[in-house]
């Protein structure tokens, strides 16, 4: 999962790593074959390799964090969902060292009701506090905001190019 090159390089490609994850590291309310797939997704003319994760899902990656590492991804809902009845998806990213859990990203994306979400929404999180440690990076999709029910209709959530990158 490593690449070489300059600043901001992908150290760990989480899309590539997904295909090798055991099923118990991929949890979903739908059957696995309906909840997850890897595909190229075009949003606004920008294509990204994406992990489709229909809520409610949790994907847990175990990684050893390099120095100067950041989590980076682009969040979105597939354009086919933008004009359908929906209430968006809550994307969450957290890390666990086996003793504690820290939420690093909490982002609601709702292109059906918020036109500014009709794009790839970039997110980053500093992982430098975990340099040299083996941790779990946990990607969650929730079908609705807390307290707003559980409407998974048209929640075609995608994680674009999720990766651990190194800033130099």
Q: How far is CA 92 from CA 14, 70, 83, 104, 133, in A?
A: 15, 15, 24, 8, 21
Look up the pTM and report it: 0.89
Q: How far is CA 127 from CA 30, 59, 65, in A?
A: 31, 18, 7
pLDDT digits (tens, 9 = 90+) for 18-76: 999 998 999 998 888 889 999 999 999 999 999 999 899 999 999 999 999 999 999 99
């Amino acid at each position: 999962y490593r690449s070489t090159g300059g600043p901001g390089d992908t150290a760990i490609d989480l899309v590539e790593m997904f295909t090798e994850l055991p099923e118990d590291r991929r949890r979903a309310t739908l059957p696995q074959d309906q909840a997850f797939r890897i595909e190229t997704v075009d949003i606004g003319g920008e294509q990204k390799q994406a992990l489709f994760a229909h809520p409610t899902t949790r994907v847990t990656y175990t990684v050893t964090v390099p120095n100067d590492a950041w989590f980076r991804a682009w969040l979105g809902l597939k354009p086919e969902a933008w004009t359908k009845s929906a209430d968006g998806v809550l994307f969450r990213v957290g890390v666990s060292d086996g003793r504690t859990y820290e939420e690093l990203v909490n982002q609601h994306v709702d292109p059906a009701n918020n036109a500014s979400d009709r794009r790839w929404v970039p997110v980053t999180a500093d992982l430098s506090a975990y340099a040299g440690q083996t941790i779990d990076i946990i990607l969650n999709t929730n079908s609705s905001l807390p307290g707003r029910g559980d409407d998974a209709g048209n929640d075609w959530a995608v994680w674009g190019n999720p990766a651990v990158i190194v800033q130099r």
